[in-house]
Amino acid sequence: MEKFIKLDGLVAPLDRANVDTDAIIPKQFLKSIKRSGFGPNAFDEWRYMDHGEPGQDCAKRPRNPNFVLNQERYQGASILLARSNFGCGSSREHAPWALHDFGFRAIIGESFADIFFNNSFKNGLLPVVLPKAEIDALFGLTEHTPGYRLTVDLPAQVVLRPDGYAIPFEVDAFRKECMLNGWDDIGLTLRHAEKIREFEARRRTEQPWLFA
């Protein structure tokens, strides 16, 4: 997993509450268990005018000009601004995979569904919870300022606006450490690789019948 320390990025506003995981990545795209390749189908039913299926060339599909992420000014955004209960619905881990593959590294919102919140940390996508008043202000600034950018500083636990105003946020200490070091569940296990090898070697000596 890629380390997350400090992100300076273009902001894209998704002004909808209760965005569920089926909207983030529709069910027909869940056949693959790879973490990559889902970006072109993130928000598929909102981004495109036709029905999407796996294997389509999305570059040739008609796009919905009214969907905010299709607007030219938000191309290349790495920070998604969201409303309340983002990531609700089913527990599919494909949702943070799709958002990360789309190019987002952080999501700033009023609140997140619990399972999506947990899955995001495990996949290098930082969910930041801020008070509604701060979110309202950021939506206004983003929509009225072309090219609006924010800095998300994980070590300092602040979202920094271009005018120097810093908004603090809370993050669990263990999750913070994992993000800073790029440790997903596999990475955490591999930190103990030498002890695991020692244990397996000892088992072969003490219980050889298991390996016959």
Q: How far is CA 51 from the centre of its chain?
A: 24
Residue 118 lies in a domain: yes
The confidence score (pLDDT) of residue 23 equals 97
Choose between 199 and 3: higher pLDDT.
3
Residue 103 lies in a domain: yes
The confidence score (pLDDT) of residue 195 equals 77
Q: Is the pLDDT of residue 45 over 80?
A: yes
Q: Is the pLDDT of residue 209 over 90?
A: no
Q: What is the total residue count of the chain?
A: 212
Residues 6+ apart with CB under 8 A from 106: 4, 7, 9, 78, 79, 80, 125, 126, 127, 128, 152
Residue 62 lies in a domain: yes
Q: Is the pLDDT of residue 17 over 80?
A: yes
Confidence grade of residue 210 (pLDDT, cut at 50, 70, 90): confident
Q: Is the pLDDT of residue 145 over 80?
A: yes
Q: In this predicted model, what pLDDT tens digit does every residue of 76-116 receive, in sequence order?
A: 999 999 999 999 998 889 999 999 999 999 999 999 999 99
Residue 189 lies in a domain: no
Confidence grade of residue 192 (pLDDT, cut at 50, 70, 90): low
Backbone angles phi, psi at 113, to 5 degrees: -65, 145
Domain that holds residue 85: 6-181
CA neighbours within 13 Å on the CB side: how many for 195?
5
Number of domains in the chain: 1
The confidence score (pLDDT) of residue 74 equals 98
Residue 212 lies in a domain: no
The confidence score (pLDDT) of residue 91 equals 84
Confidence grade of residue 6 (pLDDT, cut at 50, 70, 90): very high
* Cα(128)–Cα(105) distance, integer angstroms: 11
Q: How far is CA 35 from the centre of its chain?
A: 12
Instruction: Please compute the mean of the pLDDT values over residues 125-134 and round it to a whole number.
Output: 98
CATH code of the domain containing 87: 3.20.19.10
Residue the block writes with tokens 């997350």: 4
Backbone angles phi, psi at 22, to 5 degrees: -70, -30
